[in-house]
Structure 1
Amino acid sequence: MCDLLVSMKGIDKSFPGVKALDQCQFELYKGEVHALVGENGAGKSTLMKVLTGIYQKDDGKILYKGKEIHLKSPKDARDIGIGIIHQEINLMPHLTVAENIFIGREYMKGPLLDIKKTKQEAVKLMESLGLQINTEIRVQDLTIAKQQMVEIGKALS
């Protein structure tokens, strides 16, 4: 059985006056974590933005579990389980850890936020990842290292 989750083949992406990606290839197998390294302008961020639906590819194919997908937005990528942890932290400092994890995918109880369920699910997630982070404190009160852990939890939620 092949554990290939994501395959990007022949990916091209251009911006006015710049060919950012030229026939790029990328494969991700189950259980892998990748760090892309390279010079400034090499296309690392652009490739990941194509994979996460932020940018649209000009050419090429993206396959997820063997089926071609067309990502038109970051929501499309999140809906099938594709996430990314950016180098720069993208959290709302004035919100709690729990609120940040589920922002944009809030638990609702009728027309209101279900804060109790949000807290419970955030605690479950942090415990499943082996992280000792109080989910009820504001992100601004965490160290940068713990904020990065929250980003990882958010991506895996």
Structure 2
Amino acid sequence: MKNKWNVTIDGNQHEIIYTPGFIKGKRTVDGVGTIVQNTNWFMRLFDEAFEVDGKTLHLTAIGNKVDLAVDGIYMNSQKPYVPFKTVPSWINILSGALLLSGMATGGLIGLLIGVIFGILLITQSVSPKRDNPKPICIGLAAVALILQILFLFLTFNLSR
């Protein structure tokens, strides 16, 4: 799914397109393509600054939400631009641990729980609304582990 914006800078019209890929995406400005690299292992996440006619624009993505910030305002949502924080390494490790524990405890459903909560951990850790994401992230990880363990016990009880 392409995301397309038309931006006017100093009277000049520019077309900016973002095309997602499997691992990398592509940003096209007036027909010139550039690779966009994800900054996370598990989901699409980037905040890339680039210049067009001397003006700095920011192409951002969290998951499927891709937006372009011009003059400090997002084009799609019309909200003020706030730079993303970088994902702490402990969040990546915790997300990976949830995936592994999901595979070990509950098969496909446990893995799905790990994926969903791993994505929630990442989005909460980069949210500009939170100064300290540790309490909410630790709480989400605990809930995910409890759900995975409950699912494991449920499958053992149903198999008897």
Normalising by structure 2, we get a TM-score of 0.28
Structure number with the higher helix fraction is 2
Task: State the structure with bigger RCO (CA 8 A, min sep 6), 1 or 2.
Answer: 1
Q: Flag the structure with larger Rg.
A: 2
Structure number with the higher strand fraction is 2
